[in-house]
Structure 1
């Protein structure tokens, strides 16, 4: 049994524990810890169900499902936090997810894969395309903050309209990246369907044919996992401010470091697992693709939803957040451009993440 399956089964016990902690009033810290752990296996089941449905529906629809539901857990948690009025934490979680995917996930994959295989290869063209799109996303996130912080005073209406304009552009760009990757240049992204339980990185055609998931079963798992993640997210968000304040953590550190660790568990396990099977193409695609999805789709959706539910969400981030995103994008692009990776490059990415994490921890915001 794979590590991913073991985690998804063992940690499910925290779902009833977190519910008991909430309704029996064990305290905000106990609810915070147990609900955070409970979200991890649910996120893995959500990701697994998406992958299994994708196998049945075929590569085109499957890739679209993965593109849309790849970061469903992060989106659900962010929506719950936005509905609760925790706008600062939501903003921080957006930048934190981008940073953690580019530095922590890709760093762990390159480090562990490099230790096992010395040097690994992946398609540099995919890294360049993703890197270019990620650079645009970083610029789109940086510019509103720059406009506001370099002006004597920007009216709230102007900030909202600027954010809505940028959000619309990002959604259009994301739609075009899907068109590029799924239709016009799909051959660049053919990393294959990986059987994460097999000892080989990419299963043979015969193995793929033999593996025929029950579509309705996995659709049911997908629905149940989504509802369960939403329920646990409500519990988690309800105590996050009180619990983190009791731990001496700022909303900035909570959003940038803690929330991505909770919501992105499935991507972390998947990326590292396939890297250990010498499939760095898929590992890099998972890491960079998740960052793109958050920057080009999740963030704009949150801006639009904020308008609808009366929780004003704009793209005016903490200046240090956008600096950190720019650093993460630059370092990730420089390391991934040659299409080769080794354990030292993984260490460099992880070191950058640790330094940024320490800076956010000591940031007084």
Structure 2
């Protein structure tokens, strides 16, 4: 995220430790034992790059589930095995996607790297969303996207505030950049409230599935009503949101990039992969992830029925945990080391990508492939999202964080998860 001012940085250096001792080396420090970059700055070979890539984190132990996911699907082990194994497989794949994107960013420069991060930062959510959209699973699309936003804003940011707050009495971050990001998130949430208000104003009814990928408005008398107005509103709003997101990227990468850059006195990370291997790895991992995600989405219906788990809970809680596992670990570890700008950038920035970028993109994709995805979420979901974004906006406004604020965010997330567990 943005660099602190000199006064903020001095205050950060004088943070009072609550548990004593310096920050332990995080996951990124584990690269040192296999970092083959020479002292002269020569790029790693393909073999060295692949070795550094595979050994980039402890989550990669779970890569054993990737071939098992393919075997389970083609050997017809059943929906339960498909769901569980694919669920586990996507966790390390999401981590590898993040690593490959980061390595490409280091080699391609800040501007291109920023665009690359914006594109692949939520690749798992995009892949799951597109595949569910093709299958006509519109509710899974909506709940998984909503769940990703809530997971980043409440669980990831909350745990990060907690981790940092248990080590430091108070942590500071660039308030201007954080406020700009959270305000854009409020805008994205408001655009979900407007379709709900529009639908309520048009007719007091409910949206029902009328075949794969199709929605119909059903009034209190059971009469079906055309929802073309709601579709047009959603698609027009999606175009406007994408323009706002493009403007935000320009704001972040060009005109106000200094607000979002790391401090120049911090150590610059060396690339552990050459650019060709990094790009190739990014493409391969994306393709493999798409297959595992397809198996996962295809098994959701039977898995939910077999175990009596609400599909809303699977979409809102379970799927986002898969996609955000790597981000969660990174964000919490950075907060424990006092790097709150990075933490805010991961949690809030990822939510913006989804709320103002990914959701509108999927609405337009649905338009192209004749799937009636709208920006109308259920009233309960819309209220939950609005309250969550409002709480985050309030907490980041002062540019400071502590463990109590983290506890509040996590508590709200647990209450939401409990509510969706009992959703019919």
Same fold per TM (> 0.5)? yes
Secondary structure (helix, strand or coil) at the match of 1:273 reads: helix
Please name the residue that 2:197 is paired with: 146
Q: Find 1:165's aligned residue among 222, 232, 236.
A: 236
* Higher relative contact order, chain-length normalized (CA < 8 Å, sep 6+): 1
Residue 96 (structure 1) aligned with residue 96 (structure 2) = no
The CA deviation at 1:203 is 4.8
Secondary structure (helix, strand or coil) at the match of 2:299 reads: helix
Q: Is the contact made by 2:118 and 2:353 (CA closer than 8 Å) also made in structure 1? A: yes
Residue 177 (structure 1) aligned with residue 248 (structure 2) = yes
The CA deviation at 1:31 is 1.2
Q: Is the contact made by 1:8 and 1:45 (CA closer than 8 Å) also made in structure 2? A: no
Please name the residue that 1:199 is paired with: none
Residue 258 (structure 1) aligned with residue 318 (structure 2) = yes
Q: Find 1:325's aligned residue among 365, 373, 385.
A: 385
In the alignment, the residues of structure 2 paired with residue 192 and residue 229 of structure 1 have an alpha-carbon distance, to the nearest angstrom, of: 34
Please name the residue that 2:350 is paired with: 290
The one-character-per-residue Cα deviations of 1:222-254 (angstroms, maximum 9, x if unpaired) are 001100110101111110111022221222222
The CA deviation at 1:212 is 6.0
Please name the residue that 1:134 is paired with: 185
Q: Find 2:63's aligned residue among 12, 16, 27.
A: 12
Stretches of structure 2 that go unaligned for 5 or more consecutive residues are 1-24, 29-55, 205-224
Please name the residue that 2:411 is paired with: 351
Please name the residue that 1:196 is paired with: none
Aligned residues: 353
Q: Is the contact made by 2:300 and 2:311 (CA closer than 8 Å) also made in structure 1? A: no
Distance 1:254 1:192, change over 3 A: farther
User: TM-score if structure 2 supplies the norm length?
Assistant: 0.80
Residue 267 (structure 1) aligned with residue 327 (structure 2) = yes
Stretches of structure 1 that go unaligned for 5 or more consecutive residues are 194-201
Which has more radius of gyration? 2
Name whichever structure is richer in helix by fraction: 1
CA RMSD of superposed structures (Å): 1.7
Is 184-193 or 234-243 further displaced after alignment?
184-193
In the alignment, the residues of structure 2 paired with residue 191 and residue 328 of structure 1 have an alpha-carbon distance, to the nearest angstrom, of: 27
Q: Find 1:222's aligned residue among 282, 293, 297.
A: 282
Give matches, 1:207-218, under 5 Å: 208=269, 210-211=270-271, 213-218=273-278
In the alignment, the residues of structure 1 paired with residue 77 and residue 409 of structure 2 have an alpha-carbon distance, to the nearest angstrom, of: 39
The CA deviation at 1:3 is 4.5
Q: Find 2:338's aligned residue among 268, 272, 278.
A: 278
Runs of 4+ in 1 over 3 A off after TM superposition: 1-8, 210-213
